[in-house]
Structure 1
Amino acid sequence: MGFPGTWMTESESVVYRVVPKCACSTIGQIMYFSDHGQFFDGDIHDSTTGLHKWSQEASQPLIEKNVKKHKSYAFTCVRNPYTRILSSFFDKICGIQRNGKRYRGNLVPLLVQKYGIEVGGDDGKQDFDQIKSFRRFLLFARDTIRWKKPMEPDIHWSAMSGHVSTFIVNGGRYDHIFFTEHFNEGMQVVLDHIKTPHKVNLKKIPKFNESEGHGPKRLHPVEDYFDDLSRHLVWEIYKRDFQLFKYDFDNPGNKFPLGEIDLDEVHAKLGE
């Protein structure tokens, strides 16, 4: 199995387990900058040099050796499940992707046909009932996660605990897990624990939101998208995320965590 979704600086100063839709573009660029003194020109997900990634064959033995011996500080970052699934909907389902096409080719036509979802027309810019369409998307997301139908679950809406756990199950251990909602404080903890070839000043780092502008703007407060049925589905999909990462299930309008993450609990529950 190895360590899918794991990135490491070339200097091996730090190891990061990517969790999609949780500030991964910004984190990747910070790691790249900390080694090279400049940002990657483009989306960091497209880089094939300058950063070790498990998806690059040559990087795998280096990452595996490092993680299994816990040679470097290892971390990841999580996000409120309500805002994460909403972000996935507007970016991946309603949005036009970097290549000028719809995400995953025939996925959106399938959703339109089977679930009656609207996405704002061919360019994603026309008006549509965002709340109704999102709730139908949530049914689809649940179907993919629960029954793997009509397709396997996508990394952008599969549970964070699933991403986080592969690192633990295969022999890794996290030194820190922080919240997207408290990004600067959490990332600063990481930087305070590592030595990098180039110093990183978080106050001067731009936010690299690669999904911004892909899709329509969210027109309503977060809580308006989640009625009783939607919240039931969210609990079914993300129960572990709420519990382990201390987010507020009862109030979709509160994006902030209710407490600190217990790393020992995360390792115990996700290492089974």
Structure 2
Amino acid sequence: MGFPGTWMTESESVVYRVVPKCACSTIGQIMFYSDHGRFFDGDIHDATGDMHKWAMESSQPIISRAVKEQQILAFTCVRNPYARILSSFFDKICGIQRNGKRYRGNLVPLLIQKYGIEVGGEDGKQEFDQIASFRRFLLFARDTIRFRKPMDPDIHWSAMSGHISTFIVNGGRYNQIFFTERFNDGMQRVLDAIETPVKVDLAQIPRFNESEGHGPKRAHPVSAYFDDLSRHLMWEIYRKDFQLFRYDFDNPDNKFPLGEVDLDEVHAKLGN
């Protein structure tokens, strides 16, 4: 299976396991900048050169060797599961994507038909009941993850622990896992531990939120979207994410983790 979703700088200074909806655009741009002294012009997910990505065949043996030798710092970044699934809903389901179309073509019509959700009209800008539609989307997300119906789960709402585990199972080891909510602290720790061709001043780095503006703004506090049933579904889907990455399941409005990630525990529990 190799190392899907893994990026590495061309200089082989650092290896990163992408977790969708967890600051991956900003992290990718920082990696690109640390090699070339400039940002990639466009969405870093579209870059097909000047960095190694598992999705590019020519990069695979290089990434594979680097990860398995474990001589290069490897890291990833996680996010509060409540905020992450809400972000996926507003960006991917309600929003119009970079290409001017709906995400994954027939996905939104399928959701409207089978689950009765609303997305704010053709352009995503009309008023609609965000809470009711989100809860129906969450039911759909659960169905894709638990039952692989009516389709396989999407990378943007499949559990972070699932993404993170492929790297471990196939022979990699993380040196650092940090939180999107404390991005500067975590990213600085990574930069302090590696040598890069170009020095990165984190205070000067813009945020590359490629999903910004795709969909409607969230109109309510996080907790308003999660009633008892929704929280039951969240535990069913993301229990490992809450437990391993120390997020507060009991208070959806507390976006911050309750403690640091225990790397040994992550490797033990996701390495089977």
Q: TM-score, normalised by structure 1?
A: 1.00
* Counterpart amino acid of residue 22 in structure 2: C
Distance in 2 of aligned mates of 1:120 and 1:33: 37
- Cα deviations by residue, 1:125-183 (Å, 9 ceiling, x for unpaired): 00000000000000000000000000000000000000000000000000000000000
Q: Secondary structure at the match of 1:206?
A: coil
Aligned counterpart, 1:126: 126
Aligned counterpart, 1:201: 201
Give the gaps of 5 or more residues in structure 2.
none
Aligned counterpart, 1:39: 39
- Cα deviations by residue, 1:67-114 (Å, 9 ceiling, x for unpaired): 000121000000000000000000000000000000000000000000
Q: Secondary structure at the match of 2:166?
A: helix
Aligned counterpart, 2:97: 97
- Cα deviations by residue, 1:36-66 (Å, 9 ceiling, x for unpaired): 0000000000000111000000000000000
Aligned counterpart, 1:169: 169
Distance in 1 of aligned mates of 2:210 and 2:71: 31
Q: Does 1:256 align with 2:256?
A: yes
* Counterpart amino acid of residue 36 in structure 2: H
* Counterpart amino acid of residue 225 in structure 1: Y
Distance in 2 of aligned mates of 1:44 and 1:195: 22
Deviation at 1:27, TM superposition (A): 0.0
Distance in 2 of aligned mates of 1:27 and 1:51: 13
Q: Secondary structure at the match of 2:15?
A: strand
Distance in 1 of aligned mates of 2:101 and 2:45: 17
Q: Secondary structure at the match of 1:26?
A: helix
Aligned counterpart, 2:54: 54
Distance in 2 of aligned mates of 1:212 and 1:145: 26
Q: Does 1:184 align with 2:177?
A: no
Deviation at 1:260, TM superposition (A): 0.5
Q: Does 1:73 align with 2:101?
A: no
Distance in 2 of aligned mates of 1:161 and 1:183: 19
After TM superposition, where is structure 1 displaced by more than 6 Å over at least 4 residues in a row? none
Aligned counterpart, 1:145: 145
Q: Secondary structure at the match of 2:124?
A: coil
How is 1:76-87 mapped onto 2 (pairs within 5 angstroms)? Answer: 76-87=76-87
Distance in 2 of aligned mates of 1:99 and 1:52: 24
Q: How many residues are treated as equivalent by the alignment? A: 272
Aligned counterpart, 2:228: 228
Q: Secondary structure at the match of 1:8?
A: strand
Aligned counterpart, 2:12: 12
Q: TM-score, normalised by structure 2?
A: 1.00
Give the gaps of 5 or more residues in structure 1.
none
Distance in 2 of aligned mates of 1:252 and 1:51: 37
Q: Secondary structure at the match of 1:241?
A: helix
Q: Secondary structure at the match of 1:215?
A: coil
Distance in 1 of aligned mates of 2:69 and 2:101: 42
Q: Secondary structure at the match of 1:59?
A: helix
Distance in 2 of aligned mates of 1:152 and 1:194: 37
Q: Identical aligned pairs, as a percentage?
A: 82
Distance in 2 of aligned mates of 1:49 and 1:151: 32
Q: Secondary structure at the match of 1:7?
A: strand
